[in-house]
């Protein structure tokens, strides 16, 4: 079994690293937050000294970081992964970044005899905790086979999307729909609240027409509609992803008017008190701005199967 180094033990990465260790992988970890490192040490992982220490101790280095800036610093920096790498190592970046960052890493790594896999994460933080994440993987066939056991330890659903760079591009397409649907749902439920409609009866109708969607039927009943806006995926991060989507689409000359409008509504929400709220809390942000009662289902209510 290969030695794995894990950089980035935040809300998503911490749970994923824990599942690697629980499944028996030899694991070295690093994060700027000492408390996050201690949690993994308690499970038996080894603490490493920064990107250099992780690289020197590992065959496969996994990164789960906030943005392209941190990923590039960690991989390409003066004392980063590539500066300390040796031929035959593999970097698997699981962050949501600008696709050009992934392409840049792959080119730089190849010059050092190192390969790159991009495997951004689908689903939410609680899925990561339970080892139920979804992964969209860009990799050669050989590299996919190499990382597949690690992905299986961290998740339940794995898609090999194609060569390096296809994983992150698939993630942006996925998040375009997942995030903009939150804005559409927020507007629809705000209008239903203003009309004075019974929320559960409105949901019954929506769930039985083509208007329904995964956010409204799967995520929202367990989050904002139940009064839980603790973040599985924050409005701040959703705003970041919409910005990445618009940037990538502009490069490809693909117009994105609905995404642009949704991004501005997320800008408004994050400028107030909801930056760190779950992205389903767009319903609350819109209703609060319009002076409408926030949509809440009765305690114990469940959507129809």
**What is the Cα–Cα distance from 29 to 26, expressed in whole angstroms?**
10
pLDDT at 149: 98
Final residue of a domain: which of 132, 163, 194? 163
Percentage of the chain modeled with pLDDT above 70: 100
Chain centre distance of CA 208: 29
Catalytic residues, by residue number, are: 171
Count CB-CB contacts under 10 A for residue 106.
20
What's the pTM value of the predicted model, to 2 decimals? Answer: 0.94
Domain limits for position 66: 4-163
Tens-place pLDDT, residues 126-147: 899 999 999 999 999 999 999 9
Asked if pLDDT for residue 178 goes beyond 80, the answer is: yes
Half-sphere exposure of 208 (CA within 13 A, CB side): 8
26 with 143, same domain? yes
One DSSP character per residue, 132-192 reads -EEEEEE--HHHHHHHHHHHHHHEEEEEEEESTTHHHHHHHHHHHHHHHHHHHHHHHHHHH
Query: Is residue 50 within 8 Å of 57, Cβ to Cβ?
Result: no
Query: Strands 121-122, 133-138: parallel, antiparallel or unpaired by DSSP?
Result: antiparallel
Tens-place pLDDT, residues 221-264: 999 999 999 998 999 999 999 999 999 999 999 999 999 999 99
Q: Mean per-residue pLDDT for 10-27?
A: 97
- Quick one: tokens of 74? 């960690």
22 with 147, same domain? yes
pLDDT at 1: 80
Q: Per the domain annotation, does 295 fall within a domain?
A: no
103 with 209, same domain? no
């Amino acid at each position: 079994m290969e030695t794995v180094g894990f950089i980035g033990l935040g809300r998503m990465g911490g749970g994923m690293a824990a599942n690697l260790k629980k499944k028996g992988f030899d694991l070295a970890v690093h994060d700027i937050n000492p408390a996050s490192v201690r949690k993994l040490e308690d499970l038996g992982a080894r603490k490493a000294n920064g990107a250099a220490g992780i690289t020197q101790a590992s065959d496969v280095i996994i990164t789960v970081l906030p943005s392209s800036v941190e990923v590039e610093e960690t991989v390409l920096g003066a004392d980063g992964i590539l500066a300390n790498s040796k031929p035959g190592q593999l970097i698997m970046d699981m962050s949501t970044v600008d696709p050009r960052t992934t392409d840049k890493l792959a080119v730089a790594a190849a010059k050092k005899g190192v390969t790159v896999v991009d495997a951004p994460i689908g689903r939410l933080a609680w899925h990561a905790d339970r080892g139920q994440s979804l992964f969209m993987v860009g990799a050669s066939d050989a590299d996919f086979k190499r990382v597949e056991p690690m992905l299986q330890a961290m998740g339940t659903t794995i898609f090999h999307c194609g060569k390096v760079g296809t994983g992150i591009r698939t993630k942006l397409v996925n998040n375009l729909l997942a995030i903009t649907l939150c804005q559409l749902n927020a507007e629809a439920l705000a209008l239903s609240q203003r009309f004075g409609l019974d929320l559960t009866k409105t949901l019954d109708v929506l769930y039985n027409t083509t208007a329904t969607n995964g956010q409204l039927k799967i995520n929202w009943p367990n989050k904002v509609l139940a009064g839980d806006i603790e973040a599985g995926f924050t409005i701040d991060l959703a705003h970041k992803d919409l910005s990445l989507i618009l940037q990538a689409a502009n490069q490809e000359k693909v117009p994105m008017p609905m995404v642009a409008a949704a991004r501005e509504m997320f800008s408004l929400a994050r400028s107030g008190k909801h930056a760190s709220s779950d992205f389903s809390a767009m319903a609350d942000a819109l209703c609060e701005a319009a002076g409408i009662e926030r949509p809440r289902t009765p305690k114990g209510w469940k959507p129809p199967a």
